Every structure is written in C-alpha cells, then in structure tokens.
Chain A
Amino acid sequence: MIWETVIGLEIHAQLSTKSKLFSGGSTKFGAESNTHVDLVDMGLPGVLPVANKEAFYKAIKFGLATGAQINQISSFDRKNYFYPDLPKGYQITQMTKPIVEKGSIKVSTENGEKIINITRAHLEEDAGKSIHDLFEGETGVDLNRAGTPLLEIVSEPEISTAKEAVAYFKAIRQLVTFLDICDGNMAQGSMRCDVNVSIKKIDDKELGTRAELKNINSFKFIEKAINFEIERQIAVIESGESVVQETRLYDSDKNETRSMRSKEEANDYRYFPCPDLLPVVISDKELNEIKDNLPELPEEKQNRYISEIGLESSEAKIISSSKAMADMFEEASKKTDDAKMIAKWLVGDISALLNKENIEIDESKLSPENFGKLIKRISDNTISGKIAKSVLEEVWENGNDVDEIIKAKGLIQIQDESLLEQIAIQVLDSNPDQVAAYRSGKDKLLGFFVGQVMKETQGKANPKSVNVILKKILS
C-alpha cells in the first residue's frame, strides 16, 4: 500500500513588541522569574486587558508579505481551560475574526518551488512557564512570559513530507525575521510549532484522522517527529486499527511521540467573544502606512544585489537567505566601496566558519564595522588577502579590532618597491636552476618565485606588485 502524508503546521511566533499584548509588562527574554508580571498578566480580580496596537501592525506586516487578506476589523475570543501557567483560566485569542486570513508563501523543496497556503494568522497571548523539575513534588510557575503576543500562523494541510514541513518552517522564519516582527530565536522559544499529521490512501478524497504533535522547537525535531509519526500511523492502520484524533508529545530523547490523551479528557474550550474587548479597527491610513514601510523581503533583496550591486546570483541568494547575513552585508558595505569583495568573503571564508560552528552570523564575534574595515584594508593595500584570512581568524576568535590586530602583529603590507626588488633578486639568486628553466620557457615557475618572495616577506608583500617586479627582473 502506498500512503500519502498530509501535514499542516501551526507556528507560534512571538512578536517582538516591547510590551505584552494586553498589558504594559515587559516581554524581554531571560529576566528573573516573575519580575515582568503586571497586574493584568497575573489575572488579578478586576483587571482588564487593553490591546497593544503594535502587535496588530506586526501581524499586518506578515499578512501583507504573504499576500493575505487583512481584516481591518478583527476581534478577540476567549479559549477556556485550566492550567497553572494560564492565569485567567482562559487564553485571549482570535477565533472568529483573525487579523490575517488567506495568504501563501513560496517554499524551496527538493522538488523545486512550492506554494503553501496559509489559512490564517491570528493574535493571541502566550502562557507563562511551568517549571517541573526544580522542586521536590511541586511545580513552579513563572508568569514572565504570560501575555507575550504570539502570531499563530496556520498552514493549510498541503505539506507532503517532513522535509517540506521543515522547508516551510524555515521560509516562515526567514520571512518573520526579515519583517523584523519576530527574532526567530528557536532556542529561546520565540518560534514553536504544533504539527498536524495524517495519512491517507493516494486515491482517498477525504483526509485521514490526524494527530497533533505539540510544541516542537527545532528543525531537526520537526523532521524526526513527523517521520516517526508517519511510520506509527502506517503501522496502526496496517495492523487493522484506526488512528485516534489526539494530541501527542514528541520525546526527543527517545525519538518517539506519545499520547497526551490523559491530559485532554473531553476538553471543550468553550470559545466565545471576549466581552472585555471591543473589535479592533485598522484604518486605511494605518494600513497604507504599513504597506509603504514594509521592509525589503528576501526575493527583492536578492534581485537588487544582482542588478544594482552586480553580485553573482549564487552569492545574492546565499546573502539574502537570512536577515542576519543580509544585514551584515549591507552594514559592512557601508564601510567600504567594495561590496562585491564583501560578498565574496561572506559567501566564502565566513560561511565556512559559520558552517563549521553551526551558528548564525549575528551569533559570531564579527561586527559589520570590523568586517568592513577588514575588506577596506585589503582594497587599500594595507594587507594582502592572505594576511586578511589570518586577521579574520583572530577577529572570529576574540572580536578584536582589525586595525589593532594589524598594528600589533606588524602585518602592514610592504609598499617599498626597492625593498621588494632587493628580496626578489635574493630569491632569484638562490634558485639559479629554476631561473634557467624559466628562461627556457617554463613560464609557470613565475608562481614559484612569487610564493618564495611572499614567504620571505611573511605574506606582507602585495602579490600583484611582486609579480610585476619579478617579470621586470627576469626579462
């Protein structure tokens, strides 16, 4: 039997507002427990929510960038359930009138580009955190995160493989970071996702019964969890049983999903319009202002890099693949007039270093200023490209200033032509056999002489000048 997999993702992206969705509490990550808790976040008796307009603006940016319908009147509903880190006993969310509906995003898959449709993207408040392993027999509740605005991005069930799901998630992450509406930091939980997985026979029109995999927060685990779940469902059906609609938790240690049914027990969220919040209206003026100020998106950047700056298309693609990379390119380019060289280094040496350490460029010690300076020192002949590599290595290690490294290590390129001539003559004198061979027609030996001169100068000579000097002496 050939089974077809149907996957839909619900991505929760924390919006990078300063304050919470309904209170003036700070959303800053990593604060001491329960220090960013406003009376509203605490759900105290008598408190009332007031919506943060900025969260709407950020959601609208996402809607515009995905070609979606923006609902200029949207409203809030309550989703009722009990949990210790849900202070009010309900979550305020947008069930009936979400701010964004019917968008789509282009995703690069193994089989080329695919459009994945986005059903809706709605605003809701995040819960606090329950800490289960810190105290004997007790769970601690930290409400710092409670009320942080989330954009829940719901895809259509149009994703066919685990890899495609990852590609979709990556595309969304790329987009929200370019839009500057979410920092995309998965380790800090800024982006999380629930995955709906079902399987069906190829010819079946109806979708199969789905299982919901909860709260997965890395690309690797999305792929593993989906693949495990597909195998599980196939095994269930092929053994003659049927898949149960339920929530399952992915255990990354054991690489398996397991039922959370015990927790759900006939849950019924009893959604209803939140009577404390009137509908929020976005005016045409506000909408146009957001439209006019929408940041440049990856594809636009890529095209501009090619047509205006003259980058190779492969370079432009790599540089525009992440916000951090594009920012580095654009910022560093301001410090030099050789954007192309910036690009070469980014795609070459720097990408290699990033891959080796498996980090993003904004996690490295390299600042755009320092990077720009490094390239500038190559183009103004202060250092050679080879020296530059060793300078980069040091910057990568400790983030020190490029000029200071050059100065401290005496790496400035030898500009004195007569000194280079002297060294060149020395080199030729100590290699009479090679000189004879060169003269008899072995042109390639010029490279050997250049290398010897570079060695003598510890790389501080400009290879181009050395070339010219050697040719002059040998002719």
Chain B
Amino acid sequence: MDKKTVTTISYLSRLKIDPEKEEKITNDLENIIKFVDQLNDAETSDIEPLTNPLEKTAKTRTDQVTAKNLKKELLEIGPSSNEDYFLVPRVVE
C-alpha cells in the first residue's frame, strides 16, 4: 500500500485525504490489508465463492407500472434543483 495506490483508491472513492492524515490513513490501510492477508492461510482452490448466504434464486416481478409521479417530492429532497431537474455544476463534455 503505497502513496500512489492510496491516491488511486481515494480518486475512485471520490474522497480527499487531508495531507496531515495521509500517513496515518496509509498506515491503517496497510495494517488492515496485512490483517486480511491471513486469508491466504485457507485452501480455497475448488471453492465456489459465496456472495449471498441465501443460496437461492431470485423472485422477480411481472412487467407492470406501479410507480406514482413523485416529481415534486423527489426534487424537493434534492440539495439543488429547479422545478424540473436536479442541478449540478456544468459538466463539460
């Protein structure tokens, strides 16, 4: 876990790391990764990963429109919106 890796993952996570905390965070991450490296002790070559404890298959829905028009309510929750859209600083394509 070097500085460059920390920069990359903080970019992917859209998090800024304060310069004064950078060393501590890098250290913490390094230690956590070392800690989870214990997993290498387990023999898992033929083991299928378990992504959900329910080894079941999904229930699905039929194709029906059930949603109501929540436009006003949802736009009001938005931190910045006008009467029609959620707004963000101009994105340059």
| Contact, CB under 8 Å: B63 / A139 | no
| Contact, CB under 8 Å: B60 / A280 | yes
Residue of A25, A34, A56, A130 touching B84 (CB-CB under 8 A): A34
| Contact, CB under 8 Å: B58 / A26 | no
Residue of B58, B84, B87, B90 touching A279 (CB-CB under 8 A): B58
A34-B74, A140-B84, A268-B12 as given contacts; A279 in contact with B57, CB under 8 Å: yes
Considering the chains assembled together, what is the distance between the CA atoms of A194 and B59 in angstroms?
A: 32
The segment out of B24-32, B37-45, B65-73 that lies at the interface is: B65-73
Residue of B58, B64, B70, B74 touching A51 (CB-CB under 8 A): B58
| Contact, CB under 8 Å: B57 / A139 | no
What residues on A are CB-neighbors of B52 within 8 Å? 273, 275, 278
User: B54 within 8 Å of A by Cβ?
Assistant: yes
- The residue on B at minimum CB distance from A280 is B58
What residues on A are CB-neighbors of B57 within 8 Å? 73, 278-281
Interface size range of chain B in the complex: 35 or more
User: A467 within 8 Å of B by Cβ?
Assistant: no
Q: Which of A33, A41, A142 has the most CB of B within 10 A?
A: A33
A19-B66, A35-B69 as given contacts; A53 in contact with B88, CB under 8 Å: no
- The residue on A at minimum CB distance from B14 is A82
CB proximity of A31 to chain B, nearest CB, Å: 9
CB proximity of A36 to chain B, nearest CB, Å: 7
CB proximity of A91 to chain B, nearest CB, Å: 15
Considering the chains assembled together, what is the distance between the CA atoms of A39 and B66 in angstroms?
A: 11
CB proximity of A417 to chain B, nearest CB, Å: 61
A132-B91, A266-B8, A277-B58 as given contacts; A18 in contact with B64, CB under 8 Å: yes
User: A327 within 8 Å of B by Cβ?
Assistant: no
Q: Which of B63, B71, B87 has the most CB of A within 10 A?
A: B63
Per the 8 Å Cβ criterion, residues 69-86 of B in contact with A are 69-71, 74-75, 82, 84-86
| Contact, CB under 8 Å: B85 / A34 | yes
Interface string of B1-36 (1 = CB under 8 A from A): 000000010011010000000000000000000000
| Contact, CB under 8 Å: B61 / A17 | no
Considering the chains assembled together, what is the distance between the CA atoms of A18 and B12 in angstroms?
A: 35
CB proximity of B73 to chain A, nearest CB, Å: 10
Q: Which of B54, B67, B75, B91 has the most CB of A within 10 A?
A: B67
What residues on A are CB-neighbors of B87 within 8 Å? 135, 138-141
Considering the chains assembled together, what is the distance between the CA atoms of A203 and B56 in angstroms?
A: 50
Considering the chains assembled together, what is the distance between the CA atoms of A19 and B67 in angstroms?
A: 9
CB proximity of B6 to chain A, nearest CB, Å: 13
A51-B58, A266-B11 as given contacts; A139 in contact with B88, CB under 8 Å: yes
User: A54 within 8 Å of B by Cβ?
Assistant: yes
CB<8 Å pairs between A and B, sample of 23: A23-B67, A33-B71, A33-B84, A34-B85, A38-B66, A38-B70, A42-B74, A84-B86, A135-B87, A137-B89, A137-B90, A138-B87, A138-B90, A140-B82, A140-B85, A140-B87, A141-B85, A141-B86, A268-B8, A273-B52, A278-B54, A278-B56, A281-B58
Apart from A24-B64, A142-B85, list 15 A-B contacts with CB within 8 A: A19-B67, A24-B67, A25-B65, A32-B84, A33-B85, A34-B71, A36-B67, A52-B62, A131-B85, A132-B91, A138-B90, A139-B87, A140-B85, A266-B11, A280-B60
Residues of A that sit less than 8 Å from B by CB: 17-19, 23-26, 32-39, 41-42, 50-56, 73, 80, 82, 84, 130-132, 134-135, 137-143, 249, 265-266, 268, 270, 273, 275, 277-281
Residues of B that sit less than 8 Å from A by CB: 8, 11-12, 14, 49, 51-52, 54, 56-67, 69-71, 74-75, 82, 84-93
